[in-house]
Amino acid sequence: MTVLGQVIYTPGPWNDNHPFSYDLDDPLGAKYQNKLVSTYLRTRKGNCVSMPTLLIILGQKLGLNMTLSQAPQHEFARLQDVNGRWFNIEATSPGSPPDSKYINEMHVTPLSIQSGIYLRTTTPHETVAAMLEPLEGIYAHTRPPGYLLGLAKLEERIDPKNAGGYVSEANAYFLTLAHRYLVHHLTPEVLPPAQRADFNALYDANTRIMNQVEAMGWAPPTKAGNNEYLERVERYKAEHGG
């Protein structure tokens, strides 16, 4: 693991003295393309989605038992040692922080841990589900909502405890509702019966799925939480001259 980290993050002839690093210009991954591993490989600037994904892909190629775990708006790798113990591997700032660091800094609730949406050691199969989330971002911005809905349901089938699939499913219902009615300023009371039923079904589906994932401990990102994270990024930049 140490050698793999050196190859990725330390400048040298093995990476043409151009190491991979954290994208300090878009730390929240606001540009959906920046969460793709292909973008990370091209720019060598990544985030908490693309960086652990590449680390896990390379680690598995080398025979390491690595999977992807999640915290609120964050992903990190887990590595199993020869004794069967699991360790967190933080790809954005190489190290092995304990669960308590994620719990304290990212306000992980007991409910979200108990339900399994956060700080869970996933199987390799379930790791694939988490890796679908960047593609869901692409679909949400570039394809009709039906594509996003299909991908979200696939993610749910692979890993029923992954919150991202449910959030994307709810988003797909909302995007369909917006495309058919909201952008045209249409409300249920002005619609004929069939369309009114369709409007209400989409609205109810969105509400039902959001209630379901919130009952698992998921919560939308807050401005305060984002600001707190950006403050940590600014401290990192100050310490490392970024």
Cα gap 158→202, rounded to integer Å: 24
Inter-residue contact 213 to 163 (CB < 8 Å)? yes
Kindly tell me the number of DSSP H helices and DSSP E strands found in the chain.
11, 5
Cα gap 48→26, rounded to integer Å: 11
pLDDT band at 1 (very low <50, low <70, confident <90, very high): confident
Give residue-wise pLDDT tens across range 3-23. Answer: 899 999 999 999 999 999 999
- In this prediction, residue 239 carries a pLDDT of 75
Cα gap 168→137, rounded to integer Å: 9
Helices marked H in 159-222 = 163-180, 193-215
Give residue-wise pLDDT tens across range 208-238. Answer: 999 999 999 999 998 888 888 888 888 877 8
Closest CA to 51 of 60, 63, 39, 61: 39
Rounded to the nearest 10°, the torsion over CA 16, 96, 39, 149 is 160
Give residue-wise pLDDT tens across range 178-213. Answer: 999 999 999 999 999 999 999 999 999 999 999 999
